[in-house]
Structure 1
Amino acid sequence: MPGPIFLEGEQVTLRAVQPEDYEFLVGNLNNPKLRHAGYETVRTPVTEDDIAAKIEVGNHHMFLVCQDGTPVGCASIKNIDLEGRKAELGYWITPDRQGNGCATEAADLCLTHAFDELGLHKVWGRTVGDNEASNRVLEKLGFQQEGVLREHWYGFGRYVDEYRYGLLKSER
């Protein structure tokens, strides 16, 4: 059962990731349908220890995205630089629950946390260039594309571009 609510939206809630959530996260991060849509760098199976290590770093706020109490994905503010007042946004929704706005709302809740609670100046995101759904999430939230790293990642037999997006607090 997911832990207590950290942030609540209209259709999703964000909850702090608990050890009992690791199995859900590992199962999805190792799913080829999810990895092939932007996790080209995941070349070895993700383990529960990998998840625990990310959470323990301290500059990574990872949330379980839940809909009606059921986990449907993950969203995070990571690489948090409090001195520079910036961080990276990350999110994914299970393949069977994509396309209904959960990623957009979860990412928006993360932005509330980043700008209003952490006091950040900028949040940036990156996508695999051909992941149009993820690009749309960022664009709906007001992110501006700041650059393209051409054929930056290799995985699953292909090179992919990395799109970089940024959003300033003043643009929200």
Structure 2
Amino acid sequence: MPLKRKLSKKQVQKILQVCVDYIYSIEFNNSSDLAGKCIPVYMALQSLLCKVLSVESYITIGDRVWSDYIYCEMSYDYIIRELEKTNINDALKAHVWLTLRDGSVLDCTGEAYMDLLFKRGNHPTHECVAYFPPDKNLSDGFYRPYLVGSAFLTHIGAYAVIQKK
């Protein structure tokens, strides 16, 4: 994934506004609406950001590590097991986010899940959106990518591409 020039503050504001507006438009209004919906949210946002703002982004699959907790812990062995299993109805235990063209992370669902898991309250959608520029040091953790792109999600049946005829 080649990284490009850092996004300007104005570009980031536009990206965040498009994302929040879209998420509200599909009636995901708070943490409980957003939690666990990472795949459909990011597949739609990736397309929307490209179409509306000409912003490249990459579906990124992995986990988020905090000093005392790992959200959706993954491993390469887990990926292999997912590819080999026959029951595609099992829930995927992975986190999905968008990595923007400059390497920044756009996460609209992880905080929502953590709100519910740690009983931090049911916050409005705009408070669930997290943006981390590539030069930001996350003091209490980091995003750990394992896969980039949507092929894995499609292969295991977590996402289907529907083509219009």
TM-score normalised by structure 2 residue count: 0.26
Whichever structure has more helix as a proportion of its residues is 2
Q: Which has the higher contact order (CA 8 A, sep 6+)?
A: 2
TM-score normalised by structure 1 residue count: 0.25
